[in-house]
A = this chain, B = another copy of it.
Amino acid sequence: MKSPLSIAAVVAALTMALPAAAQFAKPEDAIKYRQSGMSLMAAHFGRLGAMANGKVPFDANAAAENAEVVAFVSKLPFSGFVEGSDKGNTKAKPEIWSEPDKFRAGARNMQGEAVKLSLVAKGGNLDRIKAAFGETAKTCKGCHDTYRAQ
């Protein structure tokens, strides 16, 4: 249990401290940063999804690693939604900045589910992974529907 707990602790620490530490010289740097984080999450979450949906054979180690990456990287992108980064090469909707508390709550919800998913994935039970994957996917969709332009 050492590794999962430590990862959860790291993730918790990142959640608290990173936004304050985040610094971007230009709004476009912040946009690139958050998009990079979202891209990495999408790639690894997608690999989990392929296993959860039976499109590729289940590999417990790969599932655990992919979930670990999702949980870790999930903490990063949100520091990139800085003031002034609502214009340019972005699908971010104005609601992110007009209802920041709701947006942050959605992000924290996703981060929590991602940590749960990573803990479940270490257990290696495909049915439990499928369930946790589904719960996490809902939290992605929840924010994307509201805060990301199509």
Contact A23 B47 (CB under 8 A): yes
Contact A17 B61 (CB under 8 A): yes
**Interface-located stretch among A63-71, A88-96, A98-106, A138-146:** A63-71
Which residues of B lie under 8 Å from residue A81 when comparing CB positions? none
Q: Which residue of B lies closest to A33 (CB)?
A: B43
Q: Which residue of B lies closest to A32 (CB)?
A: B39
Contact A23:B56 (CB < 8 A) given known A39-B36, A40-B36, A65-B13 = yes
When all copies of this chain in the complex are counted, the total is: 2
- Judge if A82 is at the interface, Cβ distance under 8 Å: no
The answer, among B2, B29, B35, B59, for a CB contact under 8 Å with A36, is B35
Contact B76 A69 (CB under 8 A): yes
- Judge if A10 is at the interface, Cβ distance under 8 Å: yes
Contact A17:B69 (CB < 8 A) given known A9-B3, A40-B37 = no
Which 6 A-B pairs rank lowest in CB-CB distance, beginning with the nearest? A6-B6, A36-B36, A21-B62, A36-B39, A3-B6, A36-B40
